[in-house]
Structure 1
Amino acid sequence: MTIELAVAIVLGLAAILATARLLYRQYRSDAATRSRRWRMAVLMIAQPLIAALLYFAVLPPRLPGQAGTMIVSTAGAADGASEGAGDIRVALPEAPPAAVGERVPDLASALRRHPGTQRLRVLGAGLSPRDRDAARGLAIEFVPAPLPRGLSGLWLPARVGEGEEFWLSGRVEAMPGGSVELLDPGSQRVDRAVPRGDGGFALSAVARSAGLAMFQLRLRDARQQVIEQVDVPVAIEARPAPKLLLLAGAPGPELKYLRRWAADAGLKPHTQISVGAGLQLGDAPLNLNAASLAGFDLLVLDERAWESFGETQRNAVIAAVRGGLGVLLRVGGPLSPRTRAQLRELGFEPGAGADASELRLPAIGTDEAATRARLGPGSVDAPRPRDQAPAEAPALTRRVLALDGARLQPLARDADGKAYAAWRALGQGRFALWGLSDSFKLVLAGRDDLHGRLWSDALSALTRARSSESARIDGTPRQDVRTRVCGLADGAQVLPPRGAAVALVVDPDTGRERCAGFWPTSAGWHSLRQGERLLPFYVRARDEAPGLRASELREATAGLSLASAQRGGAATGAQAADGERGSPWPWFFAWLALSAGLWWFERSLRGRYSAAE
């Protein structure tokens, strides 16, 4: 209940009781001393009038003309906005010098100077984080300025594992016929893309070694002239290598090159290869049970190893999958009826797999220079000249399996879009079928980059999930702009590139999110320290990548405008109730004069029958 409603109820009850008192006295009086009708009418009308005057003396009405639209000019605002009666124009500090309106240090100051404001019309790039809290709860109309030419959006993973391939996506403005290139820290082009009709693009690269790396995006126009170059910071982590278990029913080239790739990737797989008559090659034999499988993150086996399992071993593998283990079953030949029945129990309907067909890998989309950069210089024993043209990927062979079920997720597709590998979730883990039988031909053809990418993508999708970093940094940190950091522990600090550490104070109103605000004063790599753990993040310079800055302001302000539209007129009415009231003294003196006159009139004999006689 609001104070206005409470006061109105109290005064209304007082007026009703006063009127009832008059009627009761009139009823109980003798006929000779009763009041005449006009006297009773005056007394009864005076009661609600006195109550209304007292209400306005306590809560004066709003001043007329104070509740209107405030036109707010921000960066890049034009002067073509029309004004209505009662509208107010203000200009924030980042607005152009020629912007029309009263100069204010921030939006909160403008709202205090004009307390009856109900609506905002924001012109230009949008509201900065400094002004967004003050705008919440108001009805907002946003008239955005055009985004500048060049990069207007960039999304990339916060952290990447060592040796992993990562993707970044973005958006450009006003670049018809242009292209976007991704350069590695050595300034070699590793990928290139032509933006789509909406300006979107996607690029990929490989994080070769752990550390803080600085890639770059280079934007070219239709004449191949460089129009912008933007830094792309990537934090590469030396994550613990997943523990891999390789089981095979017989040796073969596919397993040989898979083992070699896993060793080069730092996985150090535990391998067991059956050669018949109870003999095995590779590492020391393991008993497949819950205890041994709990020490691995991924199991890769072929159909012959699967068929050699007893019921106890197979149940142990399935239980381990439900506990989080990833399993990839390589199908290199026809499946037995027993194996097909077991796979049906797991949710697969692969068919017999008796036929084989040719497979072409999808084109990656990189040009020749980018492909050479991905291949690298080769090894000491087999160096690769920088000007050597990359070999064409050979045709491969796949088993014909039905992997397009509704409950299956594609793991890999060929050039025609048909899945040759798919997985489904079992409990906390994933079980996958793999139909490609001769990926080793890629290595023999000199395309070990494709071979590594093929297996890296597959195993990354299936490996047992690890717990992720709880702390997060919202948005893109920028110099002198408030950054929101959440998931903080007690004693969290930010280590800037220069100067002393900055302690973060958790806002209690954020509850379980445990967020705090941080204002970086310098650009470059910072680190969030929580105990012994360090989380690196990059802060862009104040004027770096102006297109990204403009897009961030636009999206944040558009979100406020959308939220106000969803609230409808409720926020407008609530804000109007918070405006400045008029002076209470005229209403108080009117109430005092009427109360005094009514006090005299009630005690006089005017309008009584006895007085008339």
Structure 2
Amino acid sequence: MSSLISAITMPAMTPLTIAALALVAVASLYAMLRTAMQRTHSGASRALSAALQLGAALAFALMLAPPLSTLRMDAITVLTPGASDAQLDALPRTQSLIVLPGSERVGLPSGAEYAPDLATALRRHRSAQRIDVVGAGLPPRDLDATRGRSLHFDAAPPFGITALDAAPRARAGTQWRLRGRVAPGVRQVLLRDPAGQIVDRATPAADGGFVVSTAARAPGLATFMLQAADSEQTVVDRVSVAVVIESGAALTLRIRAAGPDPDQKYWRRWARDAGATVGATVGLSDQIALRDGDAALDAATLAGTDLLLLDERSWAQLSSDEQASVLTAVEQGMGLLLRVTGAVDDGVAAQWRALGLPLEPQPQLRSVALDQTLGLREPLPLTAAPASLADGASAWLRSDAGETLAAWTARGAGRIGAWLLIDSYRLGLQGEGGHYAALWSDAVATLARPQVQPTPPPLPMRAWVDERSQLCDLPEDALLLDPQRQPLPLLIVQGCAALWPAQPGWYALKLGGRDWPFPVLAADDGRGLRAARDAEATRALAAGEGDPGPSAGADAPAEAPIKLPLPRWPFAATWLLLTALLWWRERRDLQAG
């Protein structure tokens, strides 16, 4: 405020203005003298009337010749979306205010300039070497325009969903997880499926972090909705999260168990439902075994096997030739999972340690929890076998307490893993079938024979309507299709092309006869994410982490500050109010007389 007052000066007045002001002064003086000579009113009433007349005269004079304020030419203020009321009240009045698209609102200072982008504003103010950004920050299109200028950033408070990590592709039958962060004030995060039904919800942690998940079911394109709600269950932000659900390669899995148990029974059912070819041999007694499909362990069969599951007793029952055949198949790429279902013989433990698995027998079973690891809705105690896995192998499953429950080691082109959980089937019994599928999908994906899959091209991680995105590593015959499957022109320069999508939906990049779909969000979709992205980029530039580059206005001649009159309407409104009060007092006195 002090800087504003010091910047205000009185304007140079024309003879006509001087004459008008003199007339107002004479009339005001006459009115005050006339009021002072009235004996019918008390001294306080005459003083009040004189004060109103003096105030009305002063307001009228300022309306005729408003004071001048100094406007800096070397600095501008840029208003971006998301600015708070407190930030608007604190806007400097001594430099030009530029309003970017999306920042329009009621109550902005008079004289604010609207510009389609920052580059346009800087062409109008070529002498500006300081840019004060207020709000959520500059969008990507405006970042380059700041090069060579001093940038200062007054960030708006974050809101809604500020960070999100979700895999753009998922295999059918697996659990698709979304991790992110929300701003203070968000009390619940909801995940809705394409039909609008709530499939998961989470309460953010103290730092705003959250995890939600759902089963990736039928192959195809799916768009889920992630919503952030406040304490009154009002949705304050939302973002569409798209995923490409792929069928994946059909695997051949084989299992040998020394005896029947619920876990391998449910596992075989899940594997078949997931589209795998399953061969099983389950021992019922010394001379009787239940066979389901081909589970032979000869070289030819193992060469066509992607993953073999054995428990500690079935491993001990293998002949030396069968063990050698299994290990040879692992070296050629097959995966081997050694399940611990009970007490482990010292000889078997020593053999497994020789394979690189740091297994140590333990005296008894123990309870473990995977509630946080899997994101279960209700607590579910599970059971670990009487063994432990020490450091020395790569763990892919740990309990909530950090205990290793599954680990693997490499052998040739394949992998050998150890598994300690003996009752994972209870996940399905408690209604957590999606988490059961995710648990075993991760195990199969970690150990199974590597599958040759086409590598997706680099696609936009998150794109919005009317915002520039970039596609790279493109061949000359690349084709881009819009949501209606209509081709869009691509100008490919050195393998890259720019894209300004005009409508939301699924776009597809067609390469070599294959479509690679990616989503484009509507302009009002994911506002919290967009604001957080812009704030991070603007903050980095303000801290000097960006490329300063040459300034388009660095060679422009410096311009002296200019004087602009203050708005007349506040003085006119004040004069009208005081005049109305004087008129009302005079009417009252006439009626009383």
Structure 1 length as normaliser, TM-score? Answer: 0.67
Q: Flag structure 1 segments of 5+ consecutive residues without an equivalent.
A: 1-65, 369-391, 509-513, 583-613
Give the Å deviation of 1:553. 1.9
Match of 1:34 in 2: none
Q: 1:581 to 1:188 in 2, by over 3 A?
A: closer
Task: Name which of 479, 487, 505 aligns with 2:491.
Answer: 505
| Contact 1:212/1:233 (<8 A) preserved | yes
Deviations 1:334-359 (A, max 9, x none): 33344323322333321235533344
Q: Matched residues in 2 for 1:103 and 1:220: separation?
A: 33
| Contact 1:191/1:366 (<8 A) preserved | no
Amino acid across the alignment from 2:391:
G
User: Which structure is higher in strand share?
Assistant: 2
Q: Matched residues in 2 for 1:336 and 1:407: separation?
A: 20
SS at match of 1:131: helix
Amino acid across the alignment from 1:411:
L
Deviations 1:449-472 (A, max 9, x none): 664454334334433454353313
Match of 1:75 in 2: 81
Amino acid across the alignment from 1:579:
D
Give the Å deviation of 1:140. 3.5
Give the Å deviation of 1:261. 2.0
Q: Is residue 2:417 matched to residue 1:463? A: no
Alignment of 1:479-490 (within 5 A): 479-490=465-476
Q: Matched residues in 2 for 1:396 and 1:548: separation?
A: 37
- CA-atom RMSD, angstroms? 3.8
Q: Matched residues in 2 for 1:490 and 1:185: separation?
A: 36
Deviations 1:57-115 (A, max 9, x none): xxxxxxxxx9965543333454535589xx87644444436366655443334455666
Task: Name which of 555, 558, 565 aligns with 1:579.
Answer: 555
Give the Å deviation of 1:210. 1.7
Task: Name which of 419, 423, 442 aligns with 2:408.
Answer: 423
SS at match of 2:539: helix
SS at match of 1:473: coil
Alignment of 1:275-314 (within 5 A): 276=286, 281-289=291-299, 292-309=301-318, 313-314=322-323
Match of 2:205 in 1: 196
Give the Å deviation of 1:215. 2.3
Give the Å deviation of 1:520. 0.7
Task: Name which of 124, 146, 151 aligns with 2:157.
Answer: 146
Deviations 1:323-375 (A, max 9, x none): 5543321012333344323322333321235533344553666658xxxxxxx
| Contact 1:491/1:504 (<8 A) preserved | no
Q: Is residue 2:104 matched to residue 1:96? A: yes
| Contact 1:491/1:503 (<8 A) preserved | no
Match of 2:265 in 1: 256
Q: 1:443 to 1:322 in 2, by over 3 A?
A: same
Task: Name which of 238, 241, 252 aligns with 1:243.
Answer: 252
Deviations 1:495-551 (A, max 9, x none): 11237311433331xxxxx43211111112222221221122221112233323322
Q: Matched residues in 2 for 1:130 and 1:361: separation?
A: 45
Give the Å deviation of 1:580. 4.7
Amino acid across the alignment from 1:522:
Q
| Aligned-pair identity (%) | 36
Match of 1:496 in 2: 482
Q: 1:212 to 1:435 in 2, by over 3 A?
A: same
Q: 1:142 to 1:425 in 2, by over 3 A?
A: farther
Give the Å deviation of 1:440. 4.3
Give the Å deviation of 1:297. 3.1
Q: Matched residues in 2 for 1:445 and 1:542: separation?
A: 41
Amino acid across the alignment from 2:397:
L
Q: Is residue 2:477 matched to residue 1:477? A: no
Give the Å deviation of 1:166. 0.8
| Contact 1:421/1:434 (<8 A) preserved | yes
SS at match of 1:458: helix
Q: 1:132 to 1:581 in 2, by over 3 A?
A: same
| Contact 2:343/2:386 (<8 A) preserved | no
Task: Name which of 142, 145, 153 aligns with 1:131.
Answer: 142
Q: 1:292 to 1:132 in 2, by over 3 A?
A: farther
Task: Name which of 420, 434, 441 aligns with 2:419.
Answer: 434
Give the Å deviation of 1:421. 2.5
Q: 1:211 to 1:446 in 2, by over 3 A?
A: closer
| Contact 2:341/2:422 (<8 A) preserved | yes
Q: 1:126 to 1:576 in 2, by over 3 A?
A: same
Q: Matched residues in 2 for 1:347 and 1:537: separation?
A: 42
